[in-house]
Amino acid sequence: MTPINGYLVAQESAWRIPPYAREMLWMQQGAHAAQTHGDRGAFSLTVPGDPQEPLFLVWGTAGGPPLTLWHRPEAAPFVVGWQGTASIGGFIERLHVLETHHIEVVVAEIEGALLQPDYRHLPTLAQMRESPFRRLPEPDLIGERRYIYPVLAPTDSALADYLHHAMVSELAVNCFVTLAPQDGNWHALVGLPLLLESLTLLAPGYRVRLG
């Protein structure tokens, strides 16, 4: 067994884990999990010595929906530099329209899983210099298990319109989200408040992921 000690958030980062989330985050590898603590997410986890198996950051409890992953660190303490972001893919199963603090929001329930860590969202200048950009077949989502991710967007935004379109048309989506801040009290609305930053819709039949 190998001990891994570290922090989710770097000391020099201006971002800190919101108070509501500080009892909700766990580091997990296989059947081994440990809760993180404090505004930087300090953790101490003892795991088997398999360097190939990734470490997952999961929500709520051990075995909860993963938010991101990292591979085994070579240096200690392990500071992963998380900024509260997640990249997920799946299908929209439900849309809720709610009003909170005089703001109307759409909450989409996305059944899916994490995207691969090296997922290419849009090409960079460096990638365009390397070779002509083309899309390869969409990679599989990580793992076989699927989770429900609640994703929030203002009802008057283009993001909300496209969430509705994706559900009606049964299109797979890739979502790039950020954990909601303490301000706004989004965590009182839903137990995993993920604010939608950007959205990709995949063409029909482009990826069959949940069948």
Q: Looking at the structure, do residues 13 and 60 belong to the same domain, yes or no?
A: yes
- Does an H or E element contain 74, and which? none
pLDDT per residue as tens, the chain (211 positions): 788 889 999 999 999 999 999 999 999 998 999 999 999 999 998 887 666 788 999 999 999 999 999 887 666 678 889 999 999 999 999 999 998 878 899 999 999 999 987 787 888 898 899 988 887 776 678 988 999 999 999 999 999 999 999 999 999 999 999 999 999 899 999 999 999 999 999 988 765 544 4
Q: How many domains does the chain have?
A: 2
pLDDT at 118: 76
CB 7 within 8 A of CB 77: yes
pLDDT at 74: 64
Q: Looking at the structure, do residues 64 and 122 belong to the same domain, yes or no?
A: no
Q: Looking at the structure, do residues 177 and 126 belong to the same domain, yes or no?
A: yes
Q: Looking at the structure, do residues 107 and 44 belong to the same domain, yes or no?
A: no
Give domain status of residue 209, yes or no: no
pLDDT at 47: 81
CATH code of the domain in which 136 resides: 2.40.50
Q: Looking at the structure, do residues 71 and 44 belong to the same domain, yes or no?
A: yes
Q: Looking at the structure, do residues 110 and 181 belong to the same domain, yes or no?
A: yes
Q: Looking at the structure, do residues 93 and 150 belong to the same domain, yes or no?
A: yes
Q: Looking at the structure, do residues 25 and 107 belong to the same domain, yes or no?
A: no
Domain boundary among 48, 79, 110: 79
Nearest to 24 by CA among 195, 185, 179, 176: 179
pLDDT at 207: 58
Give domain status of residue 206, yes or no: no
Residue span of the structural domain in which 193 resides:
85-201
Determine whether 53 is exposed, middle or buried from the number of CB atoms within 10 Å of its CB (0-12, 13-18, 19+).
middle
Domain boundary among 79, 102, 134: 79
Q: Looking at the structure, do residues 40 and 90 belong to the same domain, yes or no?
A: no
Domain boundary among 35, 63, 79: 79
Give the phi and the psi of residue 189 in degrees, each rounded to 5. -85, -40
